[in-house]
Amino acid sequence: MFAAAVEAQAVPVERVDWKPPMDGTVDDLATVAADPLRRDANARAVKQMLDVQAMLVGVAPASELLGLEKGQFLHAGPPIEWARTAGPLRGALMGAAAFEGLVEDPEDAVALFEAGTEVALEPCHHRGAVGPMAGVVSPSMWMFVLEDPATGRRTYCSLNEGLGKVLRYGAYSPEVLQRLRWMRDSLGPLLAEAVTAAGPIDATAILGQMLQMGDEAHNRNRAGTLMLLRDLAPHLVRSSRPAEEVAEALAFVGGNDHFFLNVAMPACKLALDAARDIEGSTMVVAMARNGTDFGIQVSGTGDQWFTGPAQLADGLFLGDYGPEDANPDIGDSAITETAGIGGFAMAAAPAIVRFVGGTVPDALATSRRMREITIGENDRWPIPVLDFAGAATGIDVSAVCRTGILPQINTGMAGRVAGVGQVGAGLVTPPASIFPAALAALAERTRARAEA
């Protein structure tokens, strides 16, 4: 109305998409904007992230890689105790307890976790790992190993089980446990032999190629999976394992379009971990959900988590499932969006809208909009339809608070009841409150430095 009134007076008007900053953030925004460290700190954070080359160098059990012992379990998202866990995480922990032989029947694990004397829960992120959906990792599970050759730093992720009734979606039926045992006894050792024979595989480069081939590396990994299979297939065939075992592994990986997700995630974490602990930086280095809480970590505030309630995704459902069947958002897989792909790069993967909902114009608009809340772009991950502009890189807490634009995540949806499995996929954003909380912590540190 204001614009129309001015135009009626024959005055030129330029319309802009703008709204006031988030409530209660004005003073903190002013403080952080005036921080003399901020500009250089953010430039350094982005550079250190982009300098990382993530190489797939191995596959090994979690007990060996992470020092997990019997009764210790990792999970997705920020820290949480059993009493607050949501259905999918509970189901995955129950299944993992049975898989590890702590109980005979997964249902018996409830009492085990309620007592808490023989088990321990810890976020994957606290051990240099990431896990999709429930993200549960137990000692006997095999994991991908990603390494940056320049620094020797490593990150880890479990092997991908596929879609539907799988542990990461909270399912724990006999066929779920049978698949996990096959992955432990056959697939893991076979992949370990093949990756060692192939030599380091450049996951960062594969991610760049995926964006040229219609993947966005969160909910669409078809091209990435096939490229990984191309690199490993000759070595799988030449392995010491029986031919039938090799054929079964080739069929499983080739028929699991999401297999590469579990390489993409630790590759993104490896890059983002390089940007941690830079005083004055407002860059987000992790977004993660445990099914109850959504948490972020910021470079300039160390390992502190800023949390709020996980949100329900808006999307498409499988079969007769509907919104009432879905659990709030869960998983460490938002590390892909934190790195600038996934929901940030939907313009590269228009077919993704058939899986998560929305339209192709929506996908294009989202990728453009995410550039308003990021610090730079990644030239190694160009998006063809955006004139090969690099993927938006480095979510800026202050930009989110200033514009009110929330990071866009595309995600799978787990059933809210333990044991159900996947019920759909959709689009979701973090709870808005966590960004002002992170901004306030950054402002507090800025003021403390100024007074010192």
Which CATH number do you get for residue 238? Answer: 3.90.1710.10
Return the ∠ at Cα 138 (arms to 136 and 142), rounded to 5°.
Answer: 100
Same domain, 238 and 383: no
Is 291 within the bounds of a domain? yes
pLDDT of the residue at 2:
87
Task: Give the H or E element holding residue 232.
Answer: helix 222-237
CATH assignment at residue 444: 3.90.1700.10
So what's the pLDDT on residue 22? Answer: 96
pLDDT at 17 over 80: no
Answer whether residue 308 is part of any domain.
yes
The boundaries of the domain holding residue 75 are 59-265
Span 20-28, mean pLDDT? 95
Of 5-9, 13-17, 220-224, 369-373, least confident by mean pLDDT is: 13-17
The last residue of a domain, from among 265, 286, 312:
265
Contact 197, 234 (CB under 8 A): no
What's the one-letter identity of residue 393?
T
Query: 67 and 36, same structural domain?
Result: no
Counted domains in the chain:
2
Q: What is the mean pLDDT of residues 223-243?
A: 97
Average pLDDT on 41-57 reads: 98
201 CA to centre of own chain: 21
Q: Which residue type is seen at 35?
A: D
- Over residues 124-147, the pLDDT tens digits come to 999 999 999 999 999 999 999 999
Yes or no: say if 283 and 394 are a contact pair by the CB < 8 Å rule: yes
**Do 30 and 143 belong together in one domain?**
no
Decide which of 217, 234, 265 is a domain's last residue: 265
Domain boundary among 221, 237, 265: 265
Q: Tell me if 279 sits within 8 A of 445, measured CB to CB.
A: yes
- Based on the domain organization, do 200 and 223 belong to the same domain? yes
Residue 399 bridge partners (DSSP):
none
- Which pLDDT score, from 0 to 100, does residue 80 have? 98
pLDDT at 261 over 90: yes
Q: What is the rounded average pLDDT of the residues 2-11?
A: 92
In this structure, the strands spanning 422-428 and 120-123 are unpaired
Same domain assignment for residues 437 and 372: yes
Around Cβ 118, how many Cβ atoms within 10 Å?
11
State the pTM of this model.
0.95
Distance of CA 254 to the CA centre of its chain: 22
Burial 16-30 (b: 16+ CB within 10 A, else e): eeeeebbeebeebbe
Instruction: Report residue 244 CA to chain centroid gap.
Output: 34
Cα 302 from Cα 297, distance rounded (Å): 7
3-state secondary structure of 380: strand
- pLDDT attached to residue 239: 95
Q: Which residue bears the tokens 């192709």? A: 360
Average pLDDT (332-357) is 93
Asked, for residue 272, whether it belongs to a domain, the answer is no
Domain shared by 309 and 368, yes or no: yes
In this predicted structure, the answer to whether residue 355 has a pLDDT above a threshold of 90 is no
Q: How many CB atoms lie within 10 A of CB 13?
A: 12
Q: CA dihedral defined by 162, 182, 64, 290, rounded to 10 degrees?
A: 30
Torsion sign (Cα): 311, 315, 321, 322: positive
223 or 18: which carries more pLDDT confidence? 223
Per cent of the chain over pLDDT 90 is 95
Question: Both 337 and 245 in a single domain?
Answer: no
17 within some domain: no
